[in-house]
Structure 1
């Protein structure tokens, strides 16, 4: 067994993710605001020798990060009600990728911190079942909230999830801007899915 070959890809992924984690996805326009005026939301990265698990922001209110910060794990968001889309990834040995994309609604406070807790995502269907599943399913995750006072609480949020990638939406403008891509509503779920017009969903 070639241990060097097995370790090469996870090590490269770790280095890449560590570097890219420095990028911050700022969702508002204009001058940068102090932390006291915005909410700070964090995803996570965990490395265990040849296994890596992480999450990253795919969209905030349909606004998607630019290339320079698309793999970052921190977002600065104005206070108020928002919907947040997160991709969860797992890598083991030489393979892996996105396992779930989940979106949820949440009210954010200024000068507060929000941390998606590692390994807290649970879904209504098993990982193996996702290979034959092509529709949305429910999920939950735990988010640790650090209030301006310094007090901490853990909140369990309910999310809409889809397997192995894709983009969620509530209107066409939430999708990649392309004349043939639109938002397809999903019965029974608060979010739709971006897709090509001729393909449907």
Structure 2
């Protein structure tokens, strides 16, 4: 049976993001699940977890970008699902806390004012990742991270430090936070293709 891809978009994006489109273009014969996620991290994790559990008897592989990379790593820790992380935002509480009081617009036109409560919800997820890494809950053979060294949003040295402590595989590219070369990477980098189709 071919792997099923569960695509997890980043904060403010949607299930029809460019990463889902790239998967569909490069792997037209594979089943792709790509849900729309709300701003709240716990609600997002609940939706993702429902999808993971619904497919627990199938060869599922997660692909998460930015905040979706964070969520994918959490699902790996909880359920052992292989995950491709694209510029994962592994310290989300710090990112969201810096935006408290500011409006944030989503790709579907909705907007929110970022609150301290919102930031604390992301700190809760951040702590789950930190605790999981310390407890050795990551199988490094099942995690591959793609890092854009020109990322304008994340401190990639910090992200790589977390990933190395987790034992994850890391491949660096000369690209930005949006990882705009993703479709090209899928088509040309055998390491990434082999991970997606060969995990399990």
TM surpasses 0.5:
no
Which of the pair has more CA radius of gyration?
A: 1
* Larger relative helix fraction: 2
- TM-score with structure 1 setting the length: 0.26
Whose relative contact order is higher, 1 or 2, with alpha carbons under 8 Å and at least 6 apart? 2
- TM-score with structure 2 setting the length: 0.26
